[in-house]
Amino acid sequence: MLLLKKSFFGIAIAIGLFLIVAFFLPSTYHVERSIVIDKPVSEVYPKVSNLHHWAEWNPWTASDPSVKNSISGTGKDIGSVWSWNGAEVGIGSLTLHQMEPNKKITSKLAFKEPQMFESDDIWTFEEVPQGTRVTWINEGELSYPVDRMFGLFLDSMLGPDFEKGLSNLKEVTEAS
């Protein structure tokens, strides 16, 4: 009986510590990566603003051979949606939300499986002497308590994929 009480007390302390630590963690996250592409913004922007080009450079499409992609709408206007369903990448969608030609794209990203999660996907384009600086940002809210703990790892999880996607985008764009 004493062992049971000690076990219960230990579990209660662990849960309490988890909840206390999570309370003090940020309620939002921000992941950002950039690359310079040796092409003018007028050639780079369409590779991101037109969802029909995403399969050419998107890092997750190549990682899941089972993925089924579909695009509704024109693929390049506000309200167009790119949806996917795959064993590795799960089920989700990206909806073009705001577009400032050759400057910025904001999309709503929604995952349905393996876990429901929504965020903002933001792209900025800046002309620089070497071509175009492209910045890929993903940010969103983190619910208490589990998502806040998960938020500690988002940059290290998403960052390498963003770097790969930007590298792919650079390769595809500079080759065209």
Residue 12 DSSP SS3: helix
| 105 phi/psi in degrees, rounded to 5 | -135, 130
Structure-token match 């849960």, residue found:
15
| Burial tier of 62 (Cβ tally within 10 Å: 0-12, 13-18, 19+) | middle
3-class secondary structure for 87-107? CCCEEEEEEEEEEECCCEEEE
Q: Give the confidence band of 15 by pLDDT, cuts at 50, 70, 90.
A: confident
pLDDT one-digit tens code per residue, 39-56:
999 999 999 999 999 989
pLDDT one-digit tens code per residue, 130-174:
999 999 999 999 999 988 888 888 899 999 999 999 999 999 999
Could you tell me the pTM of the whole model?
A: 0.89
CB atoms within 10 A of CB 7: 10
Pairing, β 104-113 against β 117-128: antiparallel
CB-CB contact of 63 with 169 (8 Å): no
Domains of the chain: 28-175 (3.30.530.20)
Determine the Cα–Cα distance for residues 175 and 88; give it in Å rounded to an integer: 29
Neighbouring-strand partners of residue 112 = none
